[in-house]
Amino acid sequence: MTTLEKVRQRAESDARTSGCFLNPDPLFLKDLLEGLKKNEDRYGYPSCPCRPATGKLELDKDILCPCWYRDPDVQEYSSCYCGLYVSKDMYEGKTKLQSIPERRPQEKQARALGVTREIPIPKPSAKAAPKTEGMKLWYCKQCGYVCYREEPPYICPICKAKKEMFSEIASG
Amino acid sequence: MKTTEIAPRTTKVLGKNKKHKVLIYALSTCVWCKRAKQLMNDNGIEYEYVDIDLCSPKEQEEIKNDIMKRGGSIGFPCIIIDDKTLITGFREDKIKEVLEL
């Protein structure tokens, strides 16, 4: 069993390094952290409290908090799907928090419901190359921080420069 | 608030406002689902809910089919009003409009 405090510390630490902020509403935040704790206790990992999980890591890995959809959602809607991570504007109360559309593909959502042991879990093939499509190298023009992802971070985790300060490093 | 178990996983919450038939598919851990239930409670609306994360795989399959049959997408809360209007997500304005609040 994990503790609420551990879940909170992990979220705080992740917010610091990603340039996001935690939901400024203490009650809303507490409910979210409790949801994460419940999922960690029953599945063994903190899957998104607002999405159906299967308890099979292979099927749930995209919704492990922070989920794969957090950064684009914070960018587009100022908050992630469940509302745990928010943008600076929302943190400062300039933008109102509201329920946002689901970015997770519907087939993943549908696959998460009704999972029984008979359903084979797709295993990553040893031969298959890791996902590289759409992945790019980015560097921060202010401090030189380099990362490999589809989009540059919202804010540089090192020097806090804005997304616009990132440039792509041409591959090859 | 009075609640009555009417089916294995469906909980009925009694309320004074019975003008509409309301069913909520929810997740027990989801804060937006909690808000949807709270909106019903605050307005005295009678409703039923199912926390799908507490359901068996078979029950989840049935719920998934029900949502898809109604043309909805898989997202929670999924609020079905009068068997004809399906609202995905806690869209407060839309929910209030359909429930005439």
Integer angstrom CA distances of residue B1 from A6, A117, A134: 34, 38, 51
Task: Delineate the domains of chain B, giving CATH numbers in brackets.
Answer: 3-98 (3.40.30.10)
CA distance linking residue A73 with residue A91, whole number of Å: 15
The pLDDT of residue A62 is 94
Q: In chain A, which ranges are continuous DSSP H helix?
A: 4-18, 26-43, 57-60, 70-77, 88-91, 106-111
How many contiguous H segments (helices) and E segments (strands) does chain B have?
Answer: 3, 6
- Mean per-residue pLDDT of chain A: 89
Residue A39 lies in a domain: yes
Are residues A105 and A130 both part of a single domain?
Answer: no
- Predicted confidence band at A117 (pLDDT cuts at 50, 70, 90)? very low
Which residues touch A104 (CB under 8 Å, ≥6 apart)? A51, A62, A63, A67, A69, A81
- Mean per-residue pLDDT of chain B: 92
Q: What average pLDDT score do residues A111-116 get?
A: 86
How far is C-alpha B38 from the geometric centre of its chain's CA atoms?
Answer: 11
* A-proximal residues of B, 31-70, CB under 8 Å: 31-34, 52-53, 57-58, 60-61, 63-64, 68
The pLDDT of residue B16 is 96
Q: Which residue among B31, B57, B58 places its CB closest to the CB of A82?
A: B31
What is the rounded end-to-end Cα distance, in angstroms, of chain B? 20
CA distance linking residue A37 with residue A49, whole number of Å: 9
Are residues A59 and A100 both part of a single domain?
Answer: yes
List the domain range (segments joined by +) for residue A140.
124-172
Are residues A128 and A106 both part of a single domain?
Answer: no
Q: What is the pLDDT of residues A32-85, one digit of tens each?
A: 999 999 999 999 999 999 999 999 999 999 999 999 999 999 999 999 999 999
B88 touches chain A (CB under 8 A): yes
The pLDDT of residue A116 is 67
Name every chain B residue with its beta carbon within 8 A of the beta carbon of A33. none
CA distance linking residue B48 with residue B32, whole number of Å: 16
Q: What is the pLDDT of residues B9-41, one digit of tens each?
A: 899 999 999 999 999 999 999 999 999 999 999
**Residue A20: which CATH number?**
3.90.460.10
B94 touches chain A (CB under 8 A): no
Which of A90, A111, A132 is the last residue before a domain boundary?
Answer: A111
Residue A132 lies in a domain: yes
**Residue A170: which CATH number?**
2.20.28.10
Are residues A24 and A84 both part of a single domain?
Answer: yes
Contact B59, B35 (CB under 8 A): no
Are residues A37 and A89 both part of a single domain?
Answer: yes
Which residues touch B64 (CB under 8 Å, ≥6 apart)? A110, A113, A114, B74
Name every chain A residue with its beta carbon within 8 A of the beta carbon of B90. 99
Domain count for chain A, please give it.
Answer: 2
Are residues A98 and A146 both part of a single domain?
Answer: no
- Percent over 90 (pLDDT), chain B: 87
Q: What ipTM does this complex have? A: 0.89
Are residues A55 and A24 both part of a single domain?
Answer: yes
Are residues A69 and A142 both part of a single domain?
Answer: no
Are residues A93 and A134 both part of a single domain?
Answer: no
The pLDDT of residue B11 is 93
Name every chain A residue with its beta carbon within 8 A of the beta carbon of B76. 50-52
Instruction: Quickly count: other Cβ atoms within 10 Å of residue B53's Cβ.
Output: 25
Are residues A105 and A135 both part of a single domain?
Answer: no
Residue A118 lies in a domain: no
B73 touches chain A (CB under 8 A): yes
Pairing of strands B22-26, B47-51: parallel
